[in-house]
Amino acid sequence: MGKNPSIDLLKGVLILLVMAGHAMELAHAQHVALWIGSGFRMPLMIGISGYLLNIDRLRSEPGEHFFGRYGERMLLPWLVAMVAYLAIGGWSLSWHMPIDLLLRPPFHLWYIPVLFFLILIARAVPLPPIGLLAIGVPFSLAIMYGFGPHHGAIGHGLLSPDSRYLRYPIYFFFGMLVAERGLPTRYLGVALLTAALGMGWWARLEHDPHILAFVPARLLMCLGLIALLPHFARLRLSFAPVNHIGRDSLFFYLWHPLVMALVMATGIGVAAMLALSVPILFALGRLSAGHARLRRWIGSVPPIRPRIDEPPLEPAPQPA
């Protein structure tokens, strides 16, 4: 699926919400907005990735092209970020560290291997999105009811994966299904109402937790929002700075904790730290855009080339 300004805008808003949520967590803030945001940010990001996936290209391209493309776009920047955070954190080396980092990634770095795992499943299992969704739903529900709103390793052994590997298939494959089948206009109100009811129910669970209610509330909220993606895409909304953040979402996601920590080390408040971190990341992404090798290593996007319109054709000579 091609680029869409509304989807880029939505991704940019979600990245800003992720940064705001992490800033509020640093300040130990308790607010219903933080709770609601934590409920839909990453499921919606995963759902958008499924919605944007070109399944025909994914399954038809040779393996070396597939791994080369995703290795350069996703895995290499993730690995560089992983090494940087581990070096800063002073982690000790061990023979099983690669297994630990792949199956149970620390910090916010779980998102890239989980997303790549879901892409691998979509490529390897030759089923339409509805079939993939049918397979993924039982795993996702089992993990959601087992862990509630939290996450952790599934088991205690060396090969025990992070629960998020199996929590998010329902959102990813539902995004693929929505891209394939769309949402008829007559169901737009149903999707809006479903998302609103789920969000209201989820908001109430912040101070009145009920383990059995977490799953249906979050599913109503997140699946309702994902179902709205085709209609949101048709709006063709755009706000240049936020759209750029959406296009550069991998760079912002990987490096925002480091930039926020460095800014916060100056002693300024959390709000000022967040306000400064966004333009700093924006500037760093733009500065790296012109350097292809650096761009590949840190995950920033290339500069947008201005469209060069063809010169108008000369009028044909008229007969005398």
Q: What is the pLDDT of residues 30-46, one digit of tens each?
A: 788 889 999 999 999 99
What tokens were used for 214?
């977490």
Does the structure show a pLDDT above 80 at 309? no
Give the model confidence (pLDDT) of 53-74 as tens digits: 999 999 999 999 999 999 999 9
Give the model confidence (pLDDT) of 121-135 as tens digits: 999 999 999 999 999
pLDDT given at position 40: 96
- Give the C-alpha distances (Å, rounded to integers) separating 303 from 77, 172, 290, 295, 309: 17, 28, 7, 10, 18
What tokens were used for 218?
């979050």
Residue 283 CB coordination number (10 Å): 10
pLDDT given at position 226: 98
User: Pseudo-torsion of CA 164, 169, 172, 178, nearest 10°?
Assistant: -150
pLDDT band at 196 (very low <50, low <70, confident <90, very high): very high
Does the structure show a pLDDT above 90 at 19? yes
Does the structure show a pLDDT above 80 at 52? yes
Does the structure show a pLDDT above 50 at 306? yes
pLDDT given at position 312: 44
Sign of CA dihedral 138, 142, 148, 154: negative
Residue 46 contacts residue 275 (beta carbons within 8 Å): no
Give the model confidence (pLDDT) of 262-293 as tens digits: 999 998 888 899 999 999 999 999 999 889 99
pLDDT given at position 305: 63
Q: CB within 8 A of 155, min separation 6: which ones?
A: none
Residue 264 contacts residue 273 (beta carbons within 8 Å): yes
Can you tell me the mean pLDDT for 222-246? Answer: 95
What tokens were used for 100?
């630990």
Cα 39 to chain centroid, rounded: 13
pLDDT given at position 318: 41
Does the structure show a pLDDT above 80 at 304? no
Q: Could you give the CA distance from residue 280 to residue 283 in angstroms, rounded to a whole number?
A: 5
